[in-house]
Amino acid sequence: MLKSKILKDLEENRGRPISGQALAEKNNVSRNAVWKAVNALKEDGHEIISGRNKGYYLSESSDKVSAEGIRSYLGDRLSDVEIMVYDELDSTNNEAKRNINTYGAQTTLLVAETQTGGRGRMGKSFFSPPGAGIYMSVYYRSPHGVRNPMMVTMAAAVAVVRTIEKFTDIKPGIKWVNDIFIGDKKCCGILTEAVTDLETGLSSDIIVGIGLNVRPVDLPPELSDIVTSLGITDVTRNQLIAELLTNLNELCRHERETFMEEYIAHSNVNGKHIKYEADGKACLGTVVTVRKNGALEVKRDSGETDMVTTGEILFREKNKNIK
């Protein structure tokens, strides 16, 4: 499709004008066809600057998410990953689940500009306003099956931390198991869902959903005390998505054994008094550490030690929930 080819050319030359003639010749179409395609791209929300004798170029600040834009940052990497970008979805995880049997590639990336029913863990919703954040799911078909999808979740947390540290001076913390915090506010949540064979215990299909708040926005009152964003404006979301995908791929394929040290170094839960679930009941205790197998070691107020591997933890302060 001409629109997609022109967008690719513009993304690869961000900020540098290309003449209508050059675009027409490269794509073997008329200048009028180029002009129409550029107008259609502008209508889609891409900030394309054009003018007499200037040619066309994508403004440095244009921040519309697109497969062409993500690919321009990937270069030759991950060409086998299928990339699908949507203006609006209920949830990228839901869309991946609905289409699991139709994806040809072993890895598929789904991104939405906005989600109308973004989901978090434990049945919570995930606020997903347009233009402000990254709402993406990576679907993996695993030929041999994965024994412990929790490790994929933890790899995703490290992928997010690496991405934030590459582009900002922020020192993010990981709240077990997979929330990313800046100070005492959450900027990113991860929802991993898997299709698991109950006999073998192996997961053949894994969907890693990542919601990262990038730009500052007006938050609903119930979120304003507990949620934040990276607050940056100088990096495009396409660039952040390309980096997240690259890091996640690297961590899941090549660094399975080593990333837990990085996870543990960023953990913000050690020494915290928490509410959690053990033996099917609510308990209070203090976090000792995150173990290399991903389990949370907690010293119960009543003295026993628990190894927590599922569920959610709530920070407690003077016997009241604060998060």
Binding site for ligand BTN (CB under 6 A): 91-93, 115, 118-121, 124, 126, 135-137, 189-191, 209-211
Least distance in angstroms from the C-beta of 179 to ligand BTN:
6
Please tell me the distance from the alpha carbon of residue 320 to that of residue 274, in angstroms, as a whole number: 10
Amino acid at residue number 152: V
228's CB contacts (< 8 A; 6+ apart) are 182, 183, 185, 186, 187, 213
Q: Which is nearer to ligand BTN, 120 or 173 (by Cβ)? A: 120
Q: Among residues 74 and 208, whose Cβ is nearest to ligand BTN?
A: 208
Residue with Cβ nearer ligand BTN (126 or 259)? 126
- Whether residue 167 contacts residue 240, with contact meaning beta carbons closer than 8 Å, is answered with yes
Shortest separation between residue 94's beta carbon and ligand BTN, angstroms? 6
Tokens linked to 124? 């919570």
| For ligand BTN, the closer CB: 41 or 269 | 269
Position with the least CB separation from ligand BTN: 189
Distance CA 185, CA 191 (A): 18
Pair of tokens at residue 69? 């834009």
The least distance separating ligand BTN from the CB of residue 81, rounded to whole angstroms, comes to 17
Q: Nearest approach, Cβ of 28 to ligand BTN (angstroms)?
A: 38
Q: Minimal distance in Å, beta carbon 313 to ligand BTN?
A: 12
Q: Judged by CB, which is closer to ligand BTN: 77, or 323? A: 323
Say if residues 29 and 20 touch (Cβ distance below 8 Å). no
Please count the helices (runs of H) and the strands (runs of E) in the chain: 8, 15
Minimum Å gap between C-beta 194 and ligand BTN is: 14
Residue 315 amino acid letter: F
Q: Which is nearer to ligand BTN, 23 or 66 (CB)?
A: 66
Is the preceding omega at residue 177 within 30 degrees of 0, hence cis? yes
Tokens of residue 145, six digits: 């099956």
